[in-house]
């Protein structure tokens, strides 16, 4: 994989992870307002974005297994950081949304 291809891969991972993280925070905002159905739909969109980033990551891993590995760059490591923080944020936000639902049910 040449430098230009690597930059495209990095951009794709960062873009998808950033989209997922943004959608997860938007879902949290909707849950705070009691819009739980919209929050769930936003989390599904976040899952799709994370899957896209994960698929790119899997391609890189498969290439390495097949002897066509890449030389990791700071940008590549940065993209992995974005992906992992997006996954962690989404997981935490899912728990927070469950709490909002529980509070909403208790208040009713």
- 16 phi/psi in degrees, rounded to 5: -65, -40
Please give the positions annotated as active site: 78
The pLDDT, as a whole number, for residue 1 is 67
The pLDDT, as a whole number, for residue 7 is 84
> How do residues 15-67 score in pLDDT, each as one tens digit?
999 999 999 999 999 999 999 999 999 999 999 999 999 999 888 888 888 88
Q: Which CATH architecture has domain 3-107?
A: Up-down Bundle (1.20)
Listed by start position, the domains of the chain span 3-107
| 47 known ligand binder | no
77, with CB counted inside 10 A (0-12, 13-18, 19+), is: exposed
The pLDDT, as a whole number, for residue 28 is 98
- What would the two tokens of residue 92 be? 């935490």
- Full-model pTM: 0.89
Is-contact 39 28, C-beta < 8 A? yes
């Amino acid at each position: 994989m040449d430098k230009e291809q690597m930059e495209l891969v990095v951009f794709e991972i960062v873009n998808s992870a950033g989209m997922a993280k943004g959608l997860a925070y938007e879902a949290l905002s909707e849950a705070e307002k009691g819009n739980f159905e919209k929050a769930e739909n936003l989390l599904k969109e976040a899952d799709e974005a994370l899957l896209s980033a994960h698929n790119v990551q899997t391609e890189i891993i498969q290439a390495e297994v097949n002897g066509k590995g890449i030389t990791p760059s700071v940008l590549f490591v940065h993209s992995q950081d974005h992906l992992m923080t997006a996954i962690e944020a989404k997981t935490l936000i899912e728990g927070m949304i469950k709490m909002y639902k529980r509070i909403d049910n208790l208040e009713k």
